[in-house]
Amino acid sequence: MALIELQNVVKVYESQAGSITAVNGVSTSFEEGEFTAIVGPSGCGKTTLLNAIGGLDRPNQGHIHIDGVNIVNLKDRDLIDFRLQHIGFVFQAYNLIPVLTALENTGFILELQGVSKKERDARAMELLEAVGLADRAHNRPNQLSGGQQQRVAVARALASRPRFILADEPTANLDSKSTETLLDIMAALNEKEKTTFIFSTHDQRVIDRARRILPLEDGQLKGL
């Protein structure tokens, strides 16, 4: 069984301007260990699709099975728990907590899960080492560069050993050098730890590093 299975996923946004079908019947699956980019122009539905896979938003139609669980049918509370236990997120705007240090941000999901401080600090430090930021563990986000903040966000996403990581345009705010560093780290985690990454991008340098590319156009997968 695939790690993630999408069947005819549809998401329609209703607004005063009318309804927009942002994702229009997407069916595909993702295996464990993938390093996949969802690509396409602005407005093609990348964020909407990732948010549906991550259970941050519910589709109007279709099924999304993760490890055999249809997350579309989960109650709100169960969906929140499921997300916390199984999915790691990296956002375009990093979304670190400003008052927490890199170490505390990295351990934040573990704290929500009730892991002891000693245990989460040890795990967070191990991950900050993996992303090359052990020496910045006690700095707050505003004392770090954008690239460093995004590396903390990757460490945070990995902390609870999720089944996969969803990253929505993780390099959008980064310069070329930070983009390369972040991609090197993600690719190394994918190869060594078999961490599954699904990310969206419209940056050719990022597309070039993906092992599988899913082109999205007007809410539909193309070339399949």
Ligand X SMILES: Nc1ncnc2c1ncn2[C@@H]1O[C@H](COP(=O)(O)OP(=O)(O)OP(=O)(O)O)[C@@H](O)[C@H]1O
Binding test (CB under 6 A) with ligand X, winner from 2, 5, 7, 13: 13
Options 16-24, 27-35, 39-47, 52-60: segment touching Mg ion (CB under 5 A):
39-47
Q: Which helix (H) or strand (E) holds 66?
A: strand 61-66
Task: Give yes or no for residue 130 binding ligand X (CB under 6 A).
Answer: no
Task: Write the DSSP assignment of 82-110 as a string of letters.
Answer: HHHHHEEEE-TT----TTS-HHHHHTHHH
| Residue 144: both structure tokens together | 């770090």
Count the alpha carbons within 13 Å of 136 in the hemisphere toward its beta carbon: 21
Options 13-21, 80-88, 136-144, 159-167: segment touching ligand X (CB under 6 A):
13-21
CA angle (192, 198, 107) in 5-degree steps: 65
Binding test (CB under 6 A) with ligand X, winner from 1, 16, 18, 42: 42
Rounded Cα distance, 7 and 201, in Å: 23
Q: Least distance from C-beta 45 to ligand X, angstroms?
A: 4
Of residues 131, 134, 206, 124, the one with CA closest to residue 167: 206
Q: Which of residues 63-92 bind ligand X (CB under 6 A)?
A: none
Q: Least distance from C-beta 57 to ligand X, angstroms?
A: 9
Contact at 8 Å (CB) between 164 and 30? yes
Nearer to Mg ion, 38 or 71 (CB): 38
Residue nearest to Mg ion (CB): 47
| Residue 173: both structure tokens together | 């705010």
Q: Which helix (H) or strand (E) holds 27?
A: strand 18-30
Rounded Cα distance, 52 and 222, in Å: 19
Task: Give yes or no for residue 15 binding ligand X (CB under 6 A).
Answer: yes
Nearer to ligand X, 47 or 196 (CB): 47
Residue keyed to tokens 């400003």: 98
Task: Give yes or no for residue 47 binding Mg ion (CB under 5 A).
Answer: yes
| Residue 183: both structure tokens together | 């991609």
Q: Least distance from C-beta 46 to Mg ion, angstroms?
A: 5
Nearer to Mg ion, 105 or 201 (CB): 201
Options 44-52, 141-149, 155-163, 204-212: segment touching ligand X (CB under 6 A):
44-52
Nearer to ligand X, 42 or 142 (CB): 42
Interface positions with ligand X (CB under 6 A): 13, 15, 20, 22, 42-48, 202
Interface positions with Mg ion (CB under 5 A): 46-47
